[in-house]
Amino acid sequence: MSTACFLDFDHTLFDTDKFFRIDVHAAFLTRSAQVWQQSYDAVRPTGYSLQKHADEYRARMAHILNTEIRQSFADLTRYVYPDVVPFLQQAQQQGTPLSLLSFGNADWQQYKVEHSGLAPYFHTKFYTASEGKKGEVVRQSQADRIIENFEKLRFASFFQSSLKKSGF
């Protein structure tokens, strides 16, 4: 029986500080100043108000987030620490089942895992939006698997018993 390996994504496999604190931060700051001016220029001729400016700014930033910034971060492989892929490849070659744990919005975490190129290395992936609850998520998943296996075993036992009673 091989040993399973559970790995955390952020700060373990993925350079989250460089990604968020440097590159994402810079992308937002650069665009934010531009969008502030563009949104001001758009609402000024209609009679400026802080609320109209904020609404225009929010709409423009949402569009930028959904297009430009997401496109800028479509390939996240540059944030994977250099020793990660060789480690994961070696674990795979040795038959070690790999499971991923990650805290954050599940859709966003899944996006990062897939776009980092690491998704294929993991047999199972666990995401939780509850801080400090990674262990609970794994325990619940294991409990669900135990129950599922028990139900299969119980069904198989019932089926075998029924066959014996029927003379098979």
Residues 114 and 80 in one domain: yes
Residues 125 and 144 in one domain: no
Give the C-alpha separation, 24 to 141, whole Å. 33
Residues 91 and 19 in one domain: yes
Residues 116 and 149 in one domain: no
Residues 138 and 74 in one domain: no
The count of structural domains within the chain is: 2
Residues 16 and 81 in one domain: yes
Residues 66 and 142 in one domain: no
Categorize the per-residue pLDDT at 131 as very low, low, confident or very high, splitting at 50, 70 and 90: low
pLDDT tens-digit series, residues 72-107 = 899 999 999 999 999 999 999 999 999 898 888 999
CB atoms within 10 A of CB 87: 15
Residues 121 and 138 in one domain: no
Give the C-alpha separation, 35 to 13, whole Å. 34
- Which domain covers residue 157, as residue numbers? 133-168
Question: What distances in angstroms separate CA 111 from CA 12, 50, 153, 154, 167, one per listed residue?
Answer: 17, 35, 36, 38, 55
Q: How is residue 61 written in tokens?
A: 């930033």
Give the C-alpha separation, 32 to 30, whole Å. 6
Categorize the per-residue pLDDT at 133 as very low, low, confident or very high, splitting at 50, 70 and 90: low
Residues 142 and 62 in one domain: no
Q: 25-29, 48-52, 59-63, 152-156 — which is least confidently predicted?
A: 152-156
